[in-house]
A = this chain, B = another copy of it.
Amino acid sequence: MQNITVALDAMGGDFGPRVTVPAAVQALSHFPELKVILVGDRNLITPHLSQLGYQNDARLSIEHCDRVISNSEKPSLALRNSSGSSMGTAIDLVANNAAGACVSGGNTGALMALSRFRLKLLPGIERPALISALPTASGGKTWMLDLGANVSSDADSLFQFAVMGSALAEQYLERPARVAILNIGAEEIKGNDLVKRCAEMLSQTQSVHFSGYTEGNQLLHDSADVVVCDGFVGNICLKACEGTAQLFIDKLKSHMMSSSIKGWIARKLFSGLFTELKTLNPDQYNGASLLGLRGIVIKSHGSADVPAVVNAIGEAVHEVKRQVPSRISDRLEAVLLERHY
């Protein structure tokens, strides 16, 4: 069994080591091939390890650094001051091949800027993109990108997102992924120039299985395997799904938590429904990948709890196993060959 080393930004996210340290320990028990490097302030990390009764072993190490990049720090400033920060160091461990992937719940803009600068982009990629899997009504998954790595994109970038999304999704699907562009209507005449130009490019490409436009209300309804959009739209749209799902789950929960006899019956009979609805909240997954880099970077939710950070580490393990960057690279090469010859 090949070892997989993940560098975890222990200071990232809203809760820092209080969540990342127990998550690292749990992840080690889930994934026997895993080694974790906790990157951050040793003085803040070790008390949590002691609290868990964790004995130092060869699978868990600490890479000490003093600085943390705050959530309000501008990416340009973070880039200049990244030296000695937990996020910068975690990315450096990947750049230096000391880790196969890094995971951070810190400032998204800074994570993208630092990753791009330290790891470099894959040939043929102009902008990295954040991708995540959304649950669908039938129990499947739809991968959506970009979820906010970029605040604006051109048609070439959107096209590259489609190629990268296909390459990632097909690692799970093991069949060609149906790729759709998120738009305000399914008809060909609908949309802005960006989506129209990207649609034209995709419809001329054999190596991506383009299925046309999809709309916001089709996202959780299996309309495509990969949904492509610019980062501004993707971020807002994903959060809109999450906010609506949470509202509905909260309403059901308040019925089930009622202390009345009705609440008791609901809990006894319909706990399955509650679980089902929770699995349909796109928020349940944690661990969005930053695709397009020469290394694996996983963004964890800032508000992620322990199981969610374990998921993000699991995503990192999975991508290392599947060698996602080189899969994307191969796919891009095929597309570029097709487009140029």
Contacts and interface: CB of A to CB of B under 8 A. Distances in A.
Interface of A: 71-72, 74, 109, 137, 148, 151-152, 182-184, 187, 189-193, 215-221, 229, 231-233, 235-252, 255, 262, 265-266, 269-270, 273, 276-277, 280
Nearest to A217: B243
Given A232-B184, A233-B232, A255-B273, A247 B216 contact: no
Contacts of A280: 247-248, 251
Nearest to A280: B247
Can you tell how many copies of this chain the complex includes? 2
Contact of A237 (B148, B216, B218, B247): B216
User: 9 tightest A-B contacts by CB?
Assistant: A216-B239, A217-B243, A216-B240, A244-B244, A217-B239, A151-B192, A248-B248, A184-B235, A216-B236
A238 B237 CA distance: 8
Contact of A219 (B109, B235, B243, B249): B243
A74 B220 contact: no
A250 B265 CA distance: 21
A214 to B, nearest CB: 10
Contacts of A246: 217
Given A184-B232, A192-B232, A248-B277, A255 B242 contact: no
